[in-house]
Amino acid sequence: MVNEQIITKAKQWLNPAYDEQTRNRVKWLIDNDSKELDESFYRELEFGTGGLRGIMGVGTNRMNVYTVAMATQGLCNYLKKTYPGELLKAAIAYDSRNNSALFARKTAEIFSANGFMVYLFDELRPTPQLSFAIRHFGCHTGVVVTASHNPKEYNGYKVYWNDGGQLVAPHDKNIIAEVQAIKGIEDVNFDGIDKLILTVKEDIDEAYLSKMKLLSLSADAIERQSDLKIVYTSLHGTGITLAPRLLKEYGFTNVLTVAEQDKPDGNFPTVHSPNPEEPAALALALKIAEQESADLVMGTDPDSDRVGIAVKDNSDKFILLNGNQTGSLLVYYLLRRWKELGKLDGKQFVAKTIVTTSLIEKIASTYKVDCYNVLTGFKFIAELIKNLEGKKQFIGGGEESYGYLAGDYVRDKDAILSCALIAEMTAWAKDNGKTLYNLLIDVYLEFGFYKEGLLSLTKKGKDGSEEISRMMEQFRTTPPTELDGSKVLLVKDYKNNTIKDRATNSITETGLPKSDVMQFVCANETIVTVRPSGTEPKIKFYFSICGILKTRDDFEKENTALDARIEALKKVFA
């Protein structure tokens, strides 16, 4: 039985202010599908600290032109209060998902109706290019319509500030308050002004690519290894627009793409999920790589802010690297080349999130480069870059979820640039007689054998959200005392800003903004982190362990042992 309040709420969507297709769908739900009606209207689609993300459809809890319009109006209201009297500017981009172009256009119309000068991309483009465009055009804000790597039913709306980074405090909470103050579509100014909407064309591609080329560190190695055979897939997303082109401009002449996945398509017909973190997503690319005896496989997600890679092991078999491994290799390569080129002077830094491998911190320490840990979310790395601007130079960094960045031209994770640098790193390694696989083993030998794992439990809908909240509260009130055969020494509660040291029974502050995250640090350096996903209906468990790799011959044995420890940890929390 559907709650009468939900039916009343749904009936408000039957008035003529909503389009006929929407009204017909809502009426059908009222008459025929009480469960979907409940899910569609039981709450407002939450405008979180990053914007909107949800299943597409009618209703207050769905992504549609009306929820997008109300979110945009709230954003406009806040910007007009923040910058009174200024000519406000906004950049808008979108990915290959169904309805992305529609939502982007509606966003542009609302901005223009509120007097904003709008820079609207005329075709789909990667998310990092939107970040770049905000500073390039001198915008106050930016929006990219994307649900990143979520399933095809989803779409989203990510908001950026004038530094090209996603929203952080205090703007995030302030904008949320303004969006929540929008009570309905009657509060939205829908009267778009066409002359205020400027079309962004290919000139922005040239500007972006020219800056990305400046970040190359091994042009000589690429010249000698220009025929490195690379297989790239855009997974029906935006990457096809720029990744092959940047690889070519870096000097790579032998780049193969996956024809079946080159065409942008919001239904993602060749994959179950367009997520390069999942092995199945790269299956077609791997098949071509094996047939062509390629050196490297890379795949980007629909909005091109994440990249997954595969490399050959010592048996000439392709294996997938996880985000921590790729990130560690990239940071190692960047720091080593910076040192070899005489560019390190103590004024540089790298950054990672608290759930990303400690190996990056160990590498940075060896090179005497500061490594900052931030909360999960690349926006905190962007905030750090902004805060240290003029004081320290950002070399690179990333997060375990396959997102990396070098340089500061972009202020979000950038899979287009990452593809070019990963290919360059592969060429540099080959130029030195090594594969990336062997380079990774070298890193483990020198810095320690760190291994990570992830367990994601999906909890959909209203009941799932409530269950995740209960689970987090239980970890907060009764944290584990032992994990991985080792005592838990530190209990970090980022929501309450506390670190409890069980050895001394003392409590200190985390030094980071408050966030619904729990972290348990053991005596043997094992770290387990628990957090609800900010973009998906999941609760995530991050496992980090370390061992000692004494010789190259011990790699397989030690790797198996570490994997077994991670699997044992997963069983504890599954």
Check whether residue 298 and residue 167 sit in a common domain.
no
528 beta partners: 520, 543
Q: What is the pLDDT of residues 115-141, one digit of tens each?
A: 999 999 999 999 999 999 999 999 999
* Residue 275 CB partners (closer than 8 Å, separation 6+): 149, 281, 301, 306
pLDDT of residue 306: 97
Domain C-terminal end among 162, 180, 201? 201
Question: CA–CA separation, 336 vs 395, rounded Å?
Answer: 11
Check whether residue 234 and residue 246 sit in a common domain.
yes
561 within a domain of the structure (yes/no): yes
pLDDT at 536 over 80: no
Question: CA–CA separation, 421 vs 405, rounded Å?
Answer: 10
CB atoms within 10 A of CB 207: 16
Choosing from 100, 112, 131, 148, the catalytic residue is 148
Check whether residue 262 and residue 283 sit in a common domain.
yes
Q: Return the CATH number at 505.
A: 3.30.310.50
- Burial status of residue 405 (CB atoms within 10 A of its CB: 0-12, 13-18, 19 or more): buried
371 within a domain of the structure (yes/no): yes
554 within a domain of the structure (yes/no): yes
Tokens of 350: 């790298």
Region for residue 51 given its phi and psi (left: phi exceeds 0; alpha: psi -120 to 50; beta: otherwise): left
Check whether residue 399 and residue 498 sit in a common domain.
no
pLDDT at 12 over 80: yes
Q: Which residue has the tokens 């979310």?
A: 377
Cα angle: 378, vertex 381, 382; to 5 degrees: 90
Check whether residue 454 and residue 322 sit in a common domain.
no
Question: CA–CA separation, 91 vs 98, rounded Å?
Answer: 20
Q: What is the pLDDT of residues 42-65, one digit of tens each?
A: 999 988 878 999 999 999 999 999
Check whether residue 433 and residue 463 sit in a common domain.
no
Residue 19 DSSP code: -
| Contact of 127 with 113, CB cutoff 8 Å | no
19 within a domain of the structure (yes/no): no
pLDDT of residue 467: 93
pLDDT-based confidence at 535, cuts 50/70/90?
low
* Residue 54 CB partners (closer than 8 Å, separation 6+): 45, 61, 62, 63, 67, 154, 155, 156
| Contact of 279 with 258, CB cutoff 8 Å | no
* Known active-site residue 148: yes
Check whether residue 550 and residue 418 sit in a common domain.
no
Give Cα 173 distance to the centre of its chain.
20
**348-353 and 370-374: which strand pairing?**
parallel
Domain C-terminal end among 201, 227, 247? 201
Question: CA–CA separation, 254 vs 425, rounded Å?
Answer: 16
Region 191-201 average pLDDT: 97
Q: What is the pLDDT of residues 300-334, one digit of tens each?
A: 999 999 999 999 999 999 999 999 999 999 999 99
Q: How many CA atoms lie within 13 A of 364 on its CB side?
A: 25
Name the percent of the chain lying above pLDDT 70. 99
Q: What is the pLDDT of residues 439-449, one digit of tens each?
A: 999 999 999 99
| Contact of 163 with 382, CB cutoff 8 Å | yes
pLDDT of residue 2: 65
29 within a domain of the structure (yes/no): no
What interhelical angle do 203-213 and 127-136 show, nearest 10?
Answer: 100
Q: How many domains does the chain have?
A: 3
Q: pTM, whole model, 2 decimals? A: 0.94
Give me the domain span that covers residue 131. 43-201
**Listed residue (323, 518, 312) closest to 418, CA to CA:** 323
Report the run of H or E that residue 158 belongs to, with start and end.
strand 154-161
3-state helix, strand, coil in the chain (%, to 5): 40, 20, 35
What distances in angstroms separate CA 432 from CA 126, 195, 225, 426, 555, one per listed residue? Answer: 33, 56, 11, 10, 21
DSSP characters for 421-461? HHHHHHHHHHHTT--HHHHHHHHHHHH-EEEEEEEEEE--H
What distances in angstroms separate CA 146 from CA 128, 156, 196, 442, one per listed residue? Answer: 12, 5, 23, 38
Cα angle: 190, vertex 194, 198; to 5 degrees: 120
Check whether residue 275 and residue 306 sit in a common domain.
yes
Domain C-terminal end among 142, 174, 201? 201
512 within a domain of the structure (yes/no): yes
Residue 149 DSSP code: T
Check whether residue 400 and residue 509 sit in a common domain.
no
Check whether residue 157 and residue 103 sit in a common domain.
yes
Q: What is the pLDDT of residues 254-273, one digit of tens each?
A: 999 999 999 999 999 999 99
Tokens of 511: 């030094």
Check whether residue 291 and residue 341 sit in a common domain.
yes
Question: CA–CA separation, 242 vs 202, rounded Å?
Answer: 11
Q: Return the CATH number at 306.
A: 3.40.120.10
Check whether residue 430 and residue 553 sit in a common domain.
no
Average pLDDT, the chain: 96
Q: What is the pLDDT of residues 220-232, one digit of tens each?
A: 999 999 999 999 9
